[in-house]
Structure 1
Amino acid sequence: MTTPTTRTPRFDRGSWAQAGAETVRPGVHRIPLPLPDDGLRAVNVYALEGLTEGLVLIDGGWSIPASRKALEDALTGLGHDLGEITDVLVTHIHRDHYTQAVELRRLLGSRVHLGAGERRGLELLGELRTDEPVGSLATLRRAGAHELAERVAGMYDGDFDAAVWEAPDRWLGSEELRFGDVRLTVVPTPGHTQGHVVYLDRTRGLLFSGDHVLPHITPSIGFELGGPPLPLGDYLDSLHLMTTLGDARLLPAHGPVGDSMHARVGELLAHHDDRLAEILAALADRTRTAFEVAGELGWTRRRVSFADLGPFDQMLAVNETAAHLDVLVSRGRARNSTRSDGVDRYAAVAV
């Protein structure tokens, strides 16, 4: 099985991204909200009813007028309004999940909750005053993709709104949250970001998986400020953690609801095993950069050539290739050397 590893508009032509609320089960509603100029088209937020007071949202969406209008309309269709939102439980810090949660707090007084592992990333956003992918650009340069790094950097206009990156009301660790009769277990799942968390409703057998487990794509890896040294290793560990939990319906941030979290996790683990083998084979008897290896791989389920990707997706592809190469190094299957030009070069290790 080949799973897309960069964002693509092809996988989501179904009805999942259409405006309106889908009732997953009584008291749990999936609400897709639009994304601007994004191949994913929409991000799912989930509205939970049946609490002692108000509504709880899982994720907040991107803070743009169209998103807020879509959320308001969907809640109206359910017989609710924005003013009933008491809490927003965010899975991770990325703009399409976090920024509208902050906006809702400003408008309504809603409480915002975020995984404690996101603290440093949020601090860096404030210190650097930019959401330019600084770490990813550094990875591109270490991969020998200097021209691509300059093209991607040129896509960011420096328009930074510090207000949408305010700190949450509460930092979350491994714990259980209670809202009336609803109990949600917070499970840290570093990988996509350092502080990514998922929310498990054990009673109803539901996993609100954010970007950790997605039905049609794998999340980007290594695309954050101040990222860890081995983000793919963290991600694979977090996938294995999911197999230790009871199976649950998959309620992802992008794409339709799935029947089995375990089934999808198995597919993702198999995909990464295949990708690691493919990248190791690309090294063969040659020393290569991550940029060179990425250029030889197929991308998305359609095996699109690297040259046919746009600059942003090329950046994600190089970052993900570097992440896979670093896992191979950690497993003793490859070695890494950095030359005087600052570029990392990899070679296979004979076993």
Structure 2
Amino acid sequence: MEITGTAQHDAWQQKALPPVERLRPDLWSIPVPIPHNPLRYVSVHAFALDGGGLGLLDAGWGSDESWAALTAGLAAIGAGVEEVRGVLVTHLHFDHLGLAARVRDASGAWIAMHPADAAAVARLTAAGAQAMVTAEVEFLVGLGAGRDEAVSDVGPPENLRAFTQMAVADRLLEDGEHADFPGWRMRAVHTPGHTPGHLCFAEERSRLFFSGDHVLPRISPNISTSPGGLPDPLRDYLDSLAAVRDLDPAEVLPAHEWRFRGLDARVDALTAHHEQRLAELLGAIRAHPGSTPWDLAAHLTWSRPWEQYERRMRIFAVTETDAHLRLLASRGLVVSSGGPVPAWTLALR
């Protein structure tokens, strides 16, 4: 794999925000910070459109700090937010969709997403923060969490309120459809796994591949189960990786970290990572039969000692463990006890 976003990579090593970059005569990368998050920023891509105006791919985290960075980035390329005609959103997470409503309010731009994620955003908006908290607590209890632990990790409704006030898409993009960016051939590539409606975009004129969170150069995106989410998200994710492996783009432009070449090699590495993780989980089940997803997460290798995991980090770890368990079950390698809280053992072969 070849690093092509050298300025992004250098900034990452220096723990700094990378510069606004002109990638092509009509394409720019604008880093928009994610407050208090190890990913640091999302790369918002701005496109000059035939006939005037701009298109954006993703919008950034919904905060005043991020808004200031986005508008300053647009000013640095000689543009303003009022020139934005449309926003393509790769998926529903707050660092990608959070500022979309503010962009739309300032410019009248349309917002486009895959129907699956657009429907999920509409459900969250209709249900409200308290319903979101209740659903997540019950989901975690169903994975083996004690109720007090689940309530503490999820937190109060006010912590999640912003996530229930995100923009609902004006337009829907199915797999294979082209975005309304005049002068560009932006083909939507549905890549479920990270979210049900995650979209990558293959630009057919320049052979650029905008991979969102589906393929990142350094880390594996979080693949987790969730209330009302995909029944087997890791299987979907691995299938989505295989579907893009041989596209052979000229360059991959992810939403985080840095640009690179060698999509096939990175897909192979991500696939191997998950197979190793599945093998580790099988070993944990062998050593601790009858364990819940909550318990099994504590027996896996993480980036820091398990005792340091709490709140959202622990939720991600447990739900990621659950996603791997579901794939093992679909392969016939493990079975659960059934009932409200599954306890997992190796399948008899």
TM, length-normalised to structure 2:
0.89
Distance 1:120 1:226, change over 3 A: farther
Select between 184-193 and 255-264 the one with higher mean Cα deviation.
Answer: 255-264
Equivalent position SS for 1:157: helix
How many matched pairs? Answer: 336
Alignment of 1:33-72 (within 5 A): 33-72=32-71
Which sections of structure 1, spanning at least 5 residues, go unmatched?
Answer: 1-10
Distance 1:242 1:136, change over 3 A: farther
Matched-pair contact (CA < 8 Å) for 1:148–1:315: no
Question: Given the alignment, which residue of 291, 299, 317 partners 1:296?
Answer: 299
Deviation at 1:74, TM superposition (A): 1.4
Flag as ranges the 4+ runs of structure 1 deviating above 3 A. 131-139, 161-164
Does residue 1:222 correspond to 2:224, yes or no? yes
Following the alignment from structure 2 to structure 1, what is the Cα–Cα distance between the partners of residues 140 and 162?
A: 26
Does residue 1:312 correspond to 2:312, yes or no? yes
Which sections of structure 2, spanning at least 5 residues, go unmatched?
Answer: 1-9
Following the alignment from structure 2 to structure 1, what is the Cα–Cα distance between the partners of residues 151 and 76?
A: 46
Amino acid at match of 2:182: G
Following the alignment from structure 1 to structure 2, what is the Cα–Cα distance between the partners of residues 305 and 103?
A: 39
Matched-pair contact (CA < 8 Å) for 1:135–1:223: no
Matched-pair contact (CA < 8 Å) for 2:11–2:18: no
Following the alignment from structure 1 to structure 2, what is the Cα–Cα distance between the partners of residues 313 and 163?
A: 20
Deviation at 1:12, TM superposition (A): 8.2
Question: Given the alignment, which residue of 161, 182, 185 partners 1:183?
Answer: 185
Following the alignment from structure 1 to structure 2, what is the Cα–Cα distance between the partners of residues 52 and 134?
A: 48
Equivalent position SS for 2:23: strand
Following the alignment from structure 1 to structure 2, what is the Cα–Cα distance between the partners of residues 226 and 134?
A: 13
Matched-pair contact (CA < 8 Å) for 2:12–2:257: no
Deviation at 1:17, TM superposition (A): 5.5
TM, length-normalised to structure 1:
0.88
Does residue 1:86 correspond to 2:89, yes or no? no
Following the alignment from structure 2 to structure 1, what is the Cα–Cα distance between the partners of residues 316 and 83?
A: 38
Matched-pair contact (CA < 8 Å) for 1:135–1:224: no
CA RMSD of aligned residues (A): 2.3
Matched-pair contact (CA < 8 Å) for 1:194–1:227: yes
Alignment of 1:1-16 (within 5 A): 13-14=12-13
Following the alignment from structure 2 to structure 1, what is the Cα–Cα distance between the partners of residues 311 and 159?
A: 18
Deviation at 1:227, TM superposition (A): 0.4
Equivalent position SS for 2:161: coil
Matched-pair contact (CA < 8 Å) for 1:133–1:224: no
Select between 193-202 and 147-156 the one with higher mean Cα deviation.
Answer: 147-156
Matched-pair contact (CA < 8 Å) for 1:297–1:305: no
Distance 1:215 1:295, change over 3 A: same
Question: Given the alignment, which residue of 219, 234, 241 partners 1:239?
Answer: 241
Distance 1:140 1:102, change over 3 A: same
Matched-pair contact (CA < 8 Å) for 1:248–1:262: no
Does residue 1:194 correspond to 2:196, yes or no? yes
More contact order relative to length (CA 8 Å, sep ≥ 6): 1
Matched-pair contact (CA < 8 Å) for 1:135–1:227: no
Matched-pair contact (CA < 8 Å) for 1:136–1:315: no
Deviation at 1:37, TM superposition (A): 2.1
Equivalent position SS for 1:235: helix
**CA offset digits 1:202-236 (Å, max 9, x no partner):** 32121111111112222222365520211111111
Distance 1:279 1:192, change over 3 A: same
Alignment of 1:126-145 (within 5 A): 126-130=125-129, 132=132, 136-145=136-145
Following the alignment from structure 2 to structure 1, what is the Cα–Cα distance between the partners of residues 125 and 40?
A: 28
